[in-house]
Amino acid sequence: MTQYFYDKVQPKTKKGADAQYALSIYLPPAHCVDRNAKIEKKFDNVQAAQVKALLNNHTKCELCTEPKNVIASRTVLTSENKVEHSEHVLLYPVGKSLMDKLLAEARDQSCVVFYSYNSPCVQTCLQSADNILEGLRNWINKRKGKMNAFVFQEIWQKDMMDKNLETEFKKIDEIVPLYRCMRNRKEMECRKCVDNNFVDPFCLPKEK
């Protein structure tokens, strides 16, 4: 699934670098437990291209595909000239967010995945007044006991030296299971980040 996101949806900056964005999708449970499940059957190439085009144009996907199973956004500049990070865009305002609209469409027997290209930044997404934790709780409170996952690929570059990253990742995992999927020789390797209060080094910056 995450390889498909990278190959088919990943937006680019003007300089051609991978741009930060967040996407959430609901799928049949098999797509979250069976590596052989084909996401193209629920989010095909045409729909993925549609989402990518919107993101490259700095426009949000608000249930923009025909199945109404995807939302996505890049970081945006608000009317007050404030930067709103992509994860926050999808999760707020609580109760009226794009995530709330997605969850209203999702069936009870489904898997909801929240994907962010970069890990949520510590300073804004996890520690500031604009943190995303309440938004995550709102999501899980509506889907208690169901299949949910928060997935990131890269570690936000400004957090590469943050000594509190383990603590912050635990905060997320306490609410929703946190995973990292990282490209390794053009293939995605995914692991759960926290188990028994231990953070897998796979989810942290490599020690130099």
CATH of the domain at 190: 3.40.140
Tell me what pLDDT residue 208 has: 54
Among 133, 129, 128, which Cα is nearest to 178's?
133
Assigned domain for 160 exists? yes
Give the DSSP letter of residue 136.
H
Assigned domain for 208 exists? no
Tell me what pLDDT residue 179 has: 97
What type of residue sits at position 100? D
- Specify whether the CB–CB gap between 117 and 154 falls below 8 A: yes
Assigned domain for 191 exists? yes
Tell me what pLDDT residue 130 has: 78
| pTM of the complete model | 0.94
Tell me what pLDDT residue 105 has: 94
Q: Distance between the two ends of the chain, CA-based, in angstroms? A: 30
**Cα separation, 74 vs 19, whole angstroms:** 8
Structural domain boundaries enclosing 80: 2-10+17-203
Assigned domain for 41 exists? yes
Beta strands 147-154; 111-118: pairing state = parallel
**pLDDT per 10-residue tile (average), the chain, 208 residues:** 95 94 95 89 96 97 96 87 90 96 90 95 77 94 94 88 85 95 86 95 84
> Domain tally for the chain?
1
Among 200, 134, 130, 129, which Cα is nearest to 171's?
134
Tell me what pLDDT residue 129 has: 77
Burial of 75 (0-12, 13-18, 19+ CB in 10 A): middle
